[in-house]
Amino acid sequence: MFVVFYQNIKDYPTEKFRRLTGVLPATFALMCDALRTQRTHSSGRGRPPFLSLEDRLLMTLMYLREYRTFEHIGETYGVSEATVCRTIRQVESVLIQDKRFHLPGKKALLQSDTVFEVILIDATESPCERPKKNSISTTAARRNDTLKKPR
């Protein structure tokens, strides 16, 4: 089984790295820098994290990109479901606090001369067409046709 650790994908071409993680390698490096400057784990206290900083960020990006369950991500990385939840929450909070990853606000977008092209994709679930069940298509077994238990 191929586990997606940072050591395995760090030398991928830019486009393949972006398709796998959802961000460019330069953005990934900025995110790692933000996590390094912010203390995500209290130094000197408790057990050190099982995964490297890059792997924890990669785990978070995997969750945000693929919406896999914590249990599946934990199986992939060899950690518990609670560890995955805690790690993702810590990484997300650090990245939200960093100003480099904020989107411009509504006022800034309205004041700029940039023209945005927006494409919306409807990804709602639609019902499948399946044959209806009715009494004609199903045959009920008669009581006389069923086998009885031998005594």
Structural domains in the chain (count): 1
Residue 87 domain flag: yes
Residue 67 domain flag: yes
> H-helix or E-strand containing 111?
helix 106-111
Q: What is the pLDDT of residue 111?
A: 78
Residue 74 domain flag: yes
Residue 7 domain flag: no
Residue 83 domain flag: yes
- The DSSP call for residue 103 is P
Residue 82 domain flag: yes
- The DSSP call for residue 128 is P
Domain extent for 76? 52-99
Q: Quick: pLDDT tens for 83-101.
A: 999 999 999 999 988 888 8
Residue 5 domain flag: no
Residue 24 domain flag: no
Integer angstrom CA distances of residue 112 from 33, 42, 115, 120, 137: 29, 42, 8, 22, 64
- The DSSP call for residue 11 is T
Whole-prediction pTM: 0.65
Q: Quick: pLDDT tens for 44-76.
A: 677 778 888 899 999 999 899 888 899 999 998
Mean pLDDT of the chain: 80
Query: Looking at this protein, which amino acid is placed at residue 12?
Result: Y
- How many CB atoms are closer than 10 A to CB 31? 24
